[in-house]
Amino acid sequence: MDGREITSYIESKGFNKSIWSLAGKAMCDYKMIEEGDRIAVGVSGGKDSLTLLNVLVRVKMITRVNFEIIPIHIHPKQKSIATNEIEDYCKFLGLELIIEETNLEDILFGEDKMKNPCFMCGRMRRGILYRLMKEKNINKLALGHHKDDIIETFLLNTFYQGNLGVMKPRYMSKEHGVEVVRPMAYIEESTIIRYARRIKLPILKSECQYETSKDSKRLEMKEMIEELSKKSENIRSVIFNSIKPLLKD
């Protein structure tokens, strides 16, 4: 496929306002992409990270900004899931997927098994990404967090940590010397789900036992927002707009 065909496939129909315009606005509002950037994309193989790849590839194809996209997949050695499909998908987009095998499973679920290792898992994965970025001279990390993630994180911090901590669309990790950007910060999860189904993204099935755990506080926040949305359809936008001043760098 040539560039036009890939762009046509990525864009699909019916998502101009709900994905492309919102992604473009977020990237513009927070100046996420600049000339000469080398941007790592954390690719788990889920709907969010694959949609993020499409967002960035589309921007690269329709703008004059010269930047590189480097997809990276962190793969636990113990997992039996094959990565062929996401490797092929990256090639289809004109990208080469970097696969980094790790022993995260041994650390997180070994003899000293943690009750809820999600936070530590995310932290360790981020650490691996930062190391690879330093080795490969990559200056930015793009993550597939969306509007719902930002709202849920704010509520979690408010209810359980007693602070107003937020997941910023763009921030500088001073410890690692790289910028972290979230181009899908304005996009709702339900839209991403519809988009992934529409274009049949090759999603890797997650084997994480904690992803849908009933003990998950994030799931609790997600369910609470869903209940509120039945009474107020725009509740996500209302909450998001109320915390926007906190999202600035």
Question: CA nearest 244: which of 21, 25, 24, 19?
Answer: 25
pLDDT in tens, 11-45: 988 899 999 999 999 999 999 999 999 999 999 99
- Report the pLDDT averaged over residues 111-136: 78
- Report the pLDDT averaged over residues 227-243: 96
Full-model pTM: 0.91
Domain limits at 93?
Answer: 3-247
H or E element that contains 227: helix 217-231
Band of the pLDDT at 111, cuts 50, 70, 90? low
Count structural domains, the chain.
1
**Residue 151 pLDDT more than 80?**
yes
CATH code assigned at 149: 3.40.50.620
Band of the pLDDT at 144, cuts 50, 70, 90? very high
pLDDT in tens, 169-207: 999 998 888 999 999 999 999 999 999 999 999 998 766
What does each C-alpha distance from 112 to 105, 115, 117, 133 come to in angstroms?
12, 9, 11, 30
